Chains A and B, each alone.
Chain A
Amino acid sequence: MSYSKEKVDTLLHNGISRRNFLKGLAASGVLSSFPGGLLEANEDLNTKIPYLGEKSYETFRNACPRNCYDTCSIKTFVKDGVMQFIEGAQESTYTRGGCCVKGNSYVKRVYSARRLKYPMLQVGGKGSGQWKRISWDDAMEIIAKKLLEIKKDDGTMLGAALTKYSGNFGITHYGIEGMFNSIGYTTRLAGTPCWPAGIDAQNLDMGNMWCNDPEEMKDSKFIILWGVNPASNSVHSMKYIYEAKKKGAKVVVIDPVFTEMASKSSQYIQIKTGTDGLLALGMQKIIIDAKLHDQKWLDANSKGFKELKEYLDKDIKLDDVSKVTGIPLEMIKELALSFAKAKPATIWMGYGMQRHTNGGSMIRAIDALVAVTGNVGKYAGGARYGHLSTWGFNYAALSMPKPEGSVGYTGPEGAKGEFAHGGGGEKAAYTDRFLNINKTARELLNSKGPKVRLLWVACKNPFSQDFDRNQLIRAFKQLDMVVVADQFFNETAKWADIVLPVATQFEENDVNVSYWHYWLSLNEQAIKPIFEVKSDVQIAALLSKHMNKLEKGSCTFPQSVDTKEMTIKEFNPGIYAQFGIKSWEELKHGPVKAKAVIPYADGKFQTPSGKYEFYSEKALELFGSALPKYLEVRKPYDKFRMTSPHSRWSLHSQFQNLEWMEDVHPEPSVYINPDDAKMKMVNEGDTVAVFNKQGLLRLKAKITDNVQPGTVLMYEQWYNNNIYNVNELVDDTSSDMGAFKTGAPGVALHDTFVNFRKI
């Protein structure tokens, strides 16, 4: 195949169909003749490159900014301005020299011919596939004009909405929110589809979400991995679990699915989905009855143990626990007693478990089990869920003042999401308007006073990750303008008016921490941005330039930014003290770890009582139950339960679309239990339709008792070459908690029900 530069340019300069657009993208790979010529973006022509010796490369510090437990510290090897390969940083004992399968595909991600390269305008309207390449100036002028038109028509900027989530967790990426702060009071899709019910649960119990260092797990004597699958989704945690196991600790996996983690455990216990809370309560009852609870710790550090015990005595019947969970009573007893006897013991709770209508209550019940046994506040113990204790940056990029005279929302103010930091302490007359991110389609359609007219999508792919696709198409179509800033031409981009090509972390500066481990990494710009890609904050600056050109003072965001200066501004004495460094420049020599602290070891909890609260008045007020009472899960509305966990080949909609990932994992499957398959006369490899009231998917069946009877499993992923999207089957039913700390309840993703048949 050969493409001439002229041919590509003509393709890109004229209105072209989507087919041609994609072809154009592939073709334009050839446009990039990189210095050194070792790497070409044309996927037909990348072949073996030699390893030239450590000294032949320039190296840079980077970090993986994805929504992943592991937040790897990366070392990038560059030659003649071209990224050659990456390694995990050796300095971090957590990353220990290697990334995961996804991280190792980064070179391809940067130079993929599938990458977005130029700003594009969908001239035929959303979904038409009629695209035209435009300049950055034109793109920004169109957007700036629309924003100012909204302000003129409505007298406020509330008609402009931002939806941004976890596509890039680098700290300067809060500059995207900063961009919206800088134009006035706007509308935000708030909350989190990820982990809100559990965040609320932990905050009710302990006044914070704060987990022990995962590296301590190597010294735990008993580990329960409860609905969590690190063997697939936090591979760097595995070495600590293996080490504990080698030293004699029992590693128990409680999960509805025989996961990768389950296959490497000492004991696997399959539970009926959505009954985990009851199992935890039953275990506590057994432990307390056997007097194996830690009375001393409970007396000193907890509130409401008496009420909890009364509830367990009165309402929890062990025979029912066994029946409902589907686990023999003897096994539950054995598990409870051996857990209570081992010290220190720890439980790691996954995020999937709280994506149920009773999710928050289940996390509370498991927290209580850890507390009752005195394992809270102990080295190598703890009720592990996540933490944000190393996230105390300045959020300088976020904290932009409103333009003078801005008018906003006057309704009740909600919380802004789990990462809501910084941004003005004083009580303003107006606020932004918050809509529930987990009901995006509905909220956009119903927005009034004023209507949302412009939506900016960044670090997010709603068409792949959100629910209610049909409604979402309607919602997008009725907006005046949708702007999508991304790295790839994904499903959401298809419904945009304007797409903006965004830089990867290798093309910008940033700083990264994890919500799981305790390392801090600098992210240095390793290569020049390829084609016309820009980092999110540079896009914000350009927008500011155009808005101010049209109307002076209409946007307070700096009109030119340097991502390095932006990054430096995020550091403060608190961060330096926590990580034991004097300057951010020390991070050029590698990542550093926060000084060790055992959460709650001092017995101080940020709850109203200052203690661990089995009995929480706040919980009573907000969710109707002070105690971590058992709540039944959503009733089935179709024949089979569908579970849609994370795949190891992708992080939400990132990575699976890359050419290299297709080499190790080419296509999706639906996993069906042999009994169910037999009943439905489905054989291995058959194509089946999986459907419910929401939608229908066609894909290949794999028959396995890794899933229990009555359940089908499909991974959530976005493929470049496949219309498969599991979220088309998910409705937007809320989980029980989330509104307390993150502004909106979570989504009961795993309470989805479907039917299937062979086609």
Chain B
Amino acid sequence: MQKAFLVDGSICLGCNTCAMACKNQYHQDTGILWRKVREVGAEDYLIDNNNILPTLVSYQKAPKVTMPIERFYFSLACNHCENPACVAICPVGAHTKDPETGICKHDQTICIGCGGCVKACPFGASKFNAKMGQAEKCSMCWERQADGKTTACVQACPVGAIAIIDLHDPKYKELGTSAPVGIDYAINAETKPSTRFIHPHMPKEIYRQPKG
């Protein structure tokens, strides 16, 4: 099994309910969001120096697109990669990949705050909490899932724009692509991110007032 987020940019409202639901559940410190609602077409593509790991050769950036501002979004957290850089780099085993679900978990009780994962992750999913002197990230609400619930973000999304799917289940095979557009995101990364995307699109018919 490889659990993964399927994010549907065609219906996502950009309402940030999911990001706030995550804060509601875990009380991340001010300034830290494990889930971030990313605006399509609005991001600066950084030349990042995250790419320092020997395990990572290089990766491409998602193509840029132009979209009206503040209208189209992908909601992203940790990608729960099939080949996670965070797990590979952590010297104390605070990051683990659950063999059953494929969830990449971070255990704050072991984390020594070396910051390796924060630099190694091509997606910036691991955050460094300066006050705690530790890393933290989305662990796909594995405790909630083990308790028979879905993740806080999925449950809170008012339109079902995030879903949990199993990449190894053939019925999800055709759902979405692994490459988003319009956000600063590494595609074809060796970590093999599991997140799948449904692209946003403009309404079929649009009429705007003429100039003047």
Residues of A bordering B, CB below 8 Å? 39, 43-54, 85-88, 96-102, 104-108, 231-232, 235-236, 238-239, 242, 258, 260, 262-272, 326-328, 331, 648-649, 659-660, 662-665, 675, 702, 704-706, 708-709
Contacts and interface: CB of A to CB of B under 8 A. Distances in A.
Of the candidates B21, B68, B72, B202, the one having the most CB atoms from chain A within 10 angstroms of its own CB is B21
A98 B19 CA distance: 12
Q: Which 10 A-B pairs have the closest CB atoms?
A: A98-B156, A104-B20, A263-B71, A267-B205, A235-B158, A104-B24, A51-B143, A101-B16, A101-B20, A664-B16
Contact of A49 (B27, B152, B209): B27
Interface stretch (B29-37, B54-62, B81-89, B184-192): B29-37
A246 B161 CA distance: 14
A705 B143 CA distance: 44
A249 B208 CA distance: 22
B207 to A, nearest CB: 5
B13 A664 contact: no
Contacts of B126: none
Contact of A47 (B72, B131, B144): B131
Given A98-B157, A649-B16, 16 more contacts: A39-B27, A47-B129, A50-B26, A98-B155, A99-B156, A108-B23, A239-B159, A239-B160, A260-B13, A263-B203, A264-B203, A266-B204, A267-B204, A267-B207, A331-B207, A702-B69
Nearest to B26: A48
A706 B24 contact: no
Contacts of B141: 51
Contacts of B202: 263
A660 B15 contact: no
Which size bracket describes the interface of B in this complex?
Answer: 35 or more
A232 B207 contact: no
A708 B202 CA distance: 17
Interface in B37-81: 37, 68-72
A302 B210 CA distance: 39
Nearest to A256: B209
Interface of B: 11, 13-17, 19-21, 23-33, 37, 68-72, 108, 129, 131-132, 136, 141, 143-144, 147-149, 152, 155-160, 202-212
Contacts of A96: 158
A664 B147 contact: no
Of the candidates B19, B24, B157, B211, the one having the most CB atoms from chain A within 10 angstroms of its own CB is B24
Contacts of B70: 260, 704, 706
Nearest to B207: A269
Tell me if B's interface is mostly helix, strand, loop or mixed: loop
B71 A260 contact: yes
Contacts of A704: 68-70
18 contacts: A44-B131, A48-B27, A48-B108, A50-B26, A53-B147, A54-B149, A85-B24, A101-B19, A105-B23, A108-B23, A238-B158, A238-B159, A242-B11, A263-B202, A266-B204, A663-B32, A702-B69, A709-B211
A258 B17 contact: no
Of the candidates B71, B141, B155, the one having the most CB atoms from chain A within 10 angstroms of its own CB is B71
B23 A663 contact: yes
Contact of B131 (A45, A49, A107): A45
A266 B203 contact: yes
B12 to A, nearest CB: 9
A43 B31 CA distance: 11
A46 B210 CA distance: 51
A54 B147 contact: yes
A662 B29 CA distance: 12
Contacts of B72: 263
Contacts of A705: 68, 208
Contacts of B143: 50-53
B68 to A, nearest CB: 5
A653 to B, nearest CB: 19
Contacts of B203: 262-268
B136 A708 contact: no
Contact of B19 (A107, A235, A662, A664): A664
A232 B70 CA distance: 11
A98 B155 CA distance: 6
Contact of B30 (A53, A88, A239, A663): A663
Contacts of A52: 143
Given A97-B155, A704-B69, A51 B16 contact: no
Contacts of A102: 20
A105 B141 CA distance: 18
Contact of A326 (B131, B136, B210): B210
Contact of A706 (B68, B144, B147): B68
Contact of A264 (B13, B149, B210): B13
B11 A264 contact: yes
B94 to A, nearest CB: 13
B68 A266 contact: no
Of the candidates A96, A260, A663, the one having the most CB atoms from chain B within 10 angstroms of its own CB is A663
Contacts of B13: 231-232, 235, 238, 260, 264
A664 B68 contact: no
Given A48-B108, A239-B158, A104 B17 contact: yes
B7 to A, nearest CB: 15
A272 B157 CA distance: 33
Contacts of B23: 104-105, 108, 660, 663
A172 B101 CA distance: 48
A88 B144 CA distance: 15
A229 to B, nearest CB: 10
